[in-house]
Amino acid sequence: MAPQRSRSIIPFVVAGLVVSLFIGMFIANFAASTPDAQQRAVIESACQNEPDAEACLAEQEGDPALGIQPASLSDYNVTWLSGLVGVAATFAIGAGLVLLVRRNPPSGSSDRVR
């Protein structure tokens, strides 16, 4: 295991994107659909003083006013397309943002260009 300094990062990036796409497009379809931890906290705190806590919980879980999707949807409707578009968009915007920063180095910068 002796990584070389000048080794290309392309295999790493490609492998990482494949893993991300696999997670976002495939694994995400098996995501739990119950409210997430913050939504749970919101629901529980909203029902704290209700006489019928069970009914309140059931009702709140589908309350769009609290930003809580019905129980069948978690954060948003997960499809393979959301995974593909989201992964592509975050990669492009993330890399693009720092590329813009890189293109305008401060004066007197000694940044090395590989």
Partner 1 sequence: MHIPDGLVDPATAVVTTAVGAGLVAYALKKSRETLDDRRIPIVGLTAAFVFAAQMVTFPIAGGTSAHLLGGAMAGILLGPWLGGLAMTVVYLVQAIGFADGGITALGANVIAVGFLPAVGGYYLFRVLTRILSATRMSYLGSVAAASWATTVAASALVATFISFGGPLPLIAFPIMIGVHAVVGFGEAVISTSVIAAILGTRPDLIFDQDRLPEPAAQSSEEVA
Is 54 a binder of partner 1 (CB under 8 A)?
no
Q: Nearest-CA neighbor of 80 among 31, 41, 30, 29?
A: 29
SS3 58: helix
Q: At what angle do helices 53-60 and 37-46 cross, to 10 degrees?
A: 130
Minimum distance, C-beta of residue 29 to partner 1, in the bound complex (Å): 9
Site map (CB under 8 A) of partner 1, residues 2-21, x = contact? xxxx-x-x--xx--xx-xxx
Residues in 56-85 that interact with partner 1 by CB under 8 A: 65-68, 74-76, 78, 82-83, 85
Q: Nearest-CA neighbor of 56 among 46, 42, 67?
A: 46
Is there a contact between 43 and 68 (Cβ–Cβ < 8 Å)? yes
Nearer to partner 1, 52 or 75 (CB): 75
Give the total of residues touching partner 1 (CB under 8 A). 69
Is there a contact between 22 and 73 (Cβ–Cβ < 8 Å)? no
**Residues binding partner 1 (CB under 8 A):** 1-5, 7, 9, 12-13, 16-17, 19-21, 23-24, 27-28, 30-38, 40-42, 44-46, 48, 65-68, 74-76, 78, 82-83, 85-99, 101-102, 104-106, 109, 111-114
